[in-house]
Amino acid sequence: MKVLAIVPAFNEEACLANTIAHLTSTCPEVDYLVVNDGSRDGTARIIRSHHLHGASLPINTGLTSAFKLGMKYAQRHGYDAVVQFDADGQHLPEYIPVMAQALDERKADVVIASRFLDGSVKPSGARGIGSRLITLLIKLTTGTTITDPTSGMRMYSRDMIDLFATSFDCAPEPDMVALIARKYGPVVEIQATMRERQGGESYLNLGNVLKYMARTCLSILMQRVLR
């Protein structure tokens, strides 16, 4: 299976080089594309100085645009699968082969690396409450149980590469995962652990978390009616 890791990066100079080094040393058979989403720090300099395979957008356009750029690249270069991989070092590349195996053997369109699948860890805090609510809404609207809907480490099939590359309204978010589970192929999970951010700062303060969760829940409900 020919797999591409799409690594969106916004102001990730502190950990980007180490993240890519870990990815390439652990999974040398997996290609990667760093998408520098108009970073204002030294992310572009890190890409140049470390000779990383990447593309730089002139302004910050957000995760969706950066990810779609990667999907277009994957489509044009004939990849069989894409894995969404954070630049901040939270995701462990050791799980990529496990995800690829699940994608193939279970004929899935999306494989999610879940922190909560085996029940040993429970979602907590405001994000945990929101995550459980999203899980419930996806179950009610699709019949599929997704224990970690906000996990950012997801693998997509070739059909999903084509969908994301050609559709204007596809985003790498839980509401799109719900739509895929309802209208396309299976969405499955594998158990995984994730690290804390290895550098830089997250934009997910409490206010942003609450807005994100509310917007996601509303989108899942609305698309059930409209799509």
pLDDT the model gives residue 205: 58
Token pair for 69: 């750029």
pLDDT the model gives residue 210: 80
Element (H, E) at 110: strand 110-114
In the chain, the domains with their CATH numbers are: 3-122+150-201 (3.90.550.10)
Element (H, E) at 66: helix 63-76
Predicted TM-score of the model (pTM) = 0.92
| Helix, strand, coil abundance in the chain, percent, nearest 5 | 45, 15, 40
- Bridge pairing between strands 81-84 and 154-156: antiparallel
Phi, psi of 181, deg, nearest 5: -60, -30
Which tens digits make up the pLDDT trace of 160-214?
999 999 998 899 999 999 999 999 989 999 999 999 877 666 655 567 778 888 8
Residues 59-62: contacts with CB under 8 Å, at least 24 apart? 60/10, 61/37, 62/37
Token pair for 130: 């929101």
Q: What separation in angstroms does the CA of 117 have from each of 1, 33, 60, 78, 193?
A: 25, 29, 34, 31, 10
Token pair for 149: 């809907």
Listed as ranges, residues in the chain with pLDDT below 70 are 199-206, 227
Token pair for 98: 């496990």
